[in-house]
Structure 1
Amino acid sequence: MSTHPDPYQYVVLRCVPRPDREEFVNVGVVLYCQAAAFLDVAWQVDSDRLHVFAPGLDVDRVRDALRFVDGVCAGDARAGAAAVQSLTQRFGLLKAPRSTVLQPGPVHGGVTADCAAELSGLLDRLVR
């Protein structure tokens, strides 16, 4: 934890079962702070909510995609080639738009002295 506020960026991760309808449910948040060398994700999948929102959705596929994001953030073997990239490059990978069931929203920013607490607060406000 830093003693002074550092700038950070974050993206909300969205479950988008049918991109043609432009509907989504927020399922996670990725927070990156270069000054604190922090990159992490917090997520919560509400299976009941997703089944009501998109009957037939493979919720395990959504969880698998989020576990991949965990691996990218941690830089571990689950992330494949992304594991050896810098934090900046890994965040760049995670914030890039793609046409899968899990998509990042726009990049937002702020300042915080406690990245982990900020990530938890964003999850509470934007996902839960």
Structure 2
Amino acid sequence: MIAFEYAVLRAVPRIDRAEFVNAGVLVYSQKAGYLAAATHVDPDRLRALDPEADVEAITAAVEAYAATCTAPESAGPVGATAIGERFRWLTAPRSTIVQPGPVHAGLTDDPAAELDRLLRRLVL
């Protein structure tokens, strides 16, 4: 078993209302050298919170988080950092349309399988 950390990505179509829809999961394991994201933006759920939600912009923002994990060369200066630093940057609190939830820890034999399990349990 190896330790891992994860955070849920929250889509917040109206920041003033503080309502959110889970839109992805970030998983990081220092020991496994693993950092990845899995995402799913549900337009119907977003529009239930805000009928005028800009689903395309929200999807692009969520996908940018995932790209910072899997394609760091496209992430600007943060992409040049070690994966642990990138995970900390991605999970830093922010007041934007996509926000990371709190960081949680666990143990797993397979971080990629854990990412899939968390996506199914917390997002889909």
Normalised TM-score (structure 2): 0.95
1:97 corresponding residue in structure 2 = 93
2:64 corresponding residue in structure 1 = 68
Distance 2:23 2:63 in 1: 12
Q: Which moved more, 1:43-52 or 1:105-114?
A: 43-52
Q: Indicate conservation of the 8 Å contact 2:73/2:80, yes or no.
A: no
Normalised TM-score (structure 1): 0.92
| Contiguous gaps of at least 5 residues in structure 1 | none
Distance 1:51 1:18 in 2: 11
- The structural deviation recorded for 1:76 is 2.7
Distance 2:86 2:72 in 1: 12
From 34, 39, 42, give the equivalent of 1:43: 39
The percentage of aligned residue pairs carrying the same residue is 47
Distance 1:55 1:77 in 2: 35
- The structural deviation recorded for 1:75 is 4.2
Q: Aligned letter for 1:20?
A: D
Distance 2:63 2:76 in 1: 13
Root mean square deviation of aligned Cα? 1.1
Distance 1:93 1:76 in 2: 13
CA deviation profile, 1:80-116 (whole Å, cap 9, x unmatched): 1111100011001110011110000111110001001
Matched, 1:32 2:28: yes
Q: Aligned letter for 1:24?
A: F
Distance 2:66 2:48 in 1: 26
Distance 1:114 1:75 in 2: 21
Paired residues, number: 124
- The structural deviation recorded for 1:19 is 2.5
Distance 1:32 1:22 in 2: 26
2:17 corresponding residue in structure 1 = 21
Distance 1:121 1:85 in 2: 27
Matched, 1:115 2:77: no
From 88, 108, 120, give the equivalent of 2:84: 88
- SS state at 2:8 partner: strand
Q: Aligned letter for 1:31?
A: V
| Contiguous gaps of at least 5 residues in structure 2 | none
